[in-house]
Structure 1
Amino acid sequence: MDTFNTKSLALQAQKKLLSKMASKAVVAVLVDDTSSEVLDELYRATREFTRSRKEAQKMLKNLVKVALKLGLLLRGDQLGGEELALLRASATGRCLAMTAVSFQQVDFTFDRRVLAAGLLECRDLLHQAVGPT
């Protein structure tokens, strides 16, 4: 049986295109001002914490790619039960980003355990969403 599906092919092409275009200029077009400010603060906090510009850029680029792909899937009504778990991971990631930003903005509030627990929770949610490999 032929399982070719044009909608699926178009979605794959869009995801591939987004993965190649996750630059700051493209993000400015696709992300609103508030989200952009949060991502900028997250980048600064990550760069300060890791002391590596390259690592901070890589982490933020991957975060943007995942968020854009999830948005694309959500817009195309392509999300099932497992994929909705990814949305929970995204919401947890957003909360974690806001926590990191607040740690950077308010002196003497940084707590590595809070960030580590949030990252572990995101990892577990992503593993649940992806399922056994």
Structure 2
Amino acid sequence: MASLDALFETAKAIQARAYAPYSRFKVGTAIRTPSGRIFAGCNVENAAYPVGSCAEAGAISAMLAGGESRIAEIVVMGEGDVLCTPCGGCRQRIREFASPDTPIHVAGPEGIRRSFTLDELLPFSFGPDNLSDR
């Protein structure tokens, strides 16, 4: 099973590949699935700023393309002194493939800064289970 250190190192490596010429704010994300596989994504901006994709969305896409569909744990790596938690849209994207107790670790270059559960970041969320009775 992948360790938190491996997730951190993967997020750090992919963050360096982010394409952020407009905001100059690079983000990297690493997802571990229940099988132990790790998938990564970075933010990608374009000239039609702010249209682009978040690191979390890229990692989720890589996970799905790799044949997995559940998130066991995530590291989100940002820059600066302020915590770089997933944006609202990404919190909802994560919710689609994770459970309320899924750990989301927020990191900076020095290491993990704080850990949350998805439920802490997106309380009383609407997700796939809300539609299961339909």
Quickly name the TM-score band, shorter chain normalised: under 0.3
Identify, as 1 or 2, the structure richer in helix: 1
Identify, as 1 or 2, the structure richer in strand: 2
**Which structure would you say has the larger RCO, counting Cα contacts within 8 Å and 6 or more residues apart?**
1
Tell me the TM-score normalised to structure 2 length: 0.26
